[in-house]
Amino acid sequence: MIDDEELNRNVPTLDLDRLEVVTALGRGAKGVVFLARDQVEDEILALKVISRDSIEKKSNKGVTNSPGNGGNEYRRVSFEQQVLKNFSHPLLPRLRGLLATDKVVGYAIDYCPGRDLNSLRRKQTEKMFSDDLIRFYAAELVLALEYLHNLGIVYRDLKPENIMVQENGHLMLVDFDLSTKLPPRSPKSSPVLNSVNKTPPDSVKKKRFSPFHMYCNSGISPDDASSQSSVDSQRTGSDSVEKSNSFVGTEEYVAPEIISGDGHDFAVDWWSLGIVLHEMLYGTTPFRGSNRKETFYRILRKSPELVGEPTPLRNLIRKLLEKDPKQRIELEGIKGHEFFKGVDWEYILQIQRPPYIPGQSENEILKGEGSEGIKRIDVELFVQGIFGDSKNKSIENVNKNVGLKQQNAFAVF
């Protein structure tokens, strides 16, 4: 049975009566994400809601109690919420509140009006980012992953759909359902700032060598992750690094060592970063096949085709997509790579005019996301109609009315 007291400890509680649920933004393998307004605080939130029945039924079939590694569905929900509660970083979500009724559980984070990185890429003239834009977003991703790794969190689901653009134009990583915990990496660099809106000191303002300065003031598949097995951790004798053996990730972004089942650690996130950079540069992932089997074969056996003349970016992508995790470039090598030459890592989060600012007011967001004719959504009925055992098909009409689309692992945050 779900312990609501454990879920809500030290976290604000949300009540459906105080939430104006405007529309369903999308769904994933385990729940639905809604756009909602907290009428008490007068704030817009992204609300992730999961059927209580589906959690408890799957939990009864659990085979392990390892946090963050699957098996026990409730433990996974609790793990994700605990992870969110511990974050204090401008590129990661704030846990704004927890929801628990007799029928559903869920949580809320800040809504990102800029949507995901793929949506932004498709707005570009050639559906691809320039090297300068890639440099800015890649640098922010490096800082976010560095922070997670220093906490001992392996993200394991880095992909454009999970990389959102905040109201201020900076990125935000979301969806930690597939994350796991390992002994943390020792912090080696880059302090964490409490606010991206903090005014940089005069000494920073005077610096003009940063590659970001030239443009930061101007405008510009099904998720197989839920199928997990062998969900335990191991400590190898060869490298004394604790690893996870769970089979998780999104098909085109998953690292070779996850497919081979040899155990994996933080290096899988750097592989996924390489896939994301490739997609930002070319508009496609490098190993996609006609089916899952072919995609996995390409990941294990094929080298990425980096079309074009040699550049620092292509060189970095190649080093990130090194199939041997022991040889793959990691944090220090990435931050010191030629592609980031001249980047002031302490200044990135203080940039007040990132390349793209969504620029929508709260009313515009609600008007744009809302569905005509629907004033309030029955969240419990909606979620149960999708994930419950009920044969009641009335939910199909709700789906049509709000334009709900199947999304990739809650990409809509």
Residues 339, 344, 345, 347, Cα dihedral to 10°: -140
* Nearest Cα to Cα of residue 274 among 314, 321, 335: 321
Using one digit for the tens of pLDDT, what is the confidence trace for 199-238? Answer: 444 444 434 334 454 444 434 422 333 333 333 334 333 3
Return the bridge partners of 99, or none: 14, 106
Contacts of residue 208, Cβ cutoff 8 Å, sequence gap at least 6: none
The structural domains of the chain, with segments of one domain joined by +, span: 4-111+371-402, 117-350
CA distances, 242 to each of 30, 61, 238, 337, 375 (Å): 28, 26, 11, 27, 50
Q: What is the pLDDT of residues 309-320, one digit of tens each?
A: 999 999 999 999
Superfamily of domain 4-111+371-402: Phosphorylase Kinase; domain 1 (3.30.200.20)
What pLDDT score was predicted for residue 370? 53
> What's the predicted TM-score (pTM) here?
0.79
| Encoded amino acid at 66, one letter | S
CATH 3.30.70.20 fits 117-350, yes or no: no
- Residues designated catalytic: 157
**CATH topology of 4-111+371-402 equal to that of 117-350?**
no
Q: Which residues of the chain have pLDDT under 70?
A: 1-10, 56-73, 185-249, 360-364, 367-376, 388-413
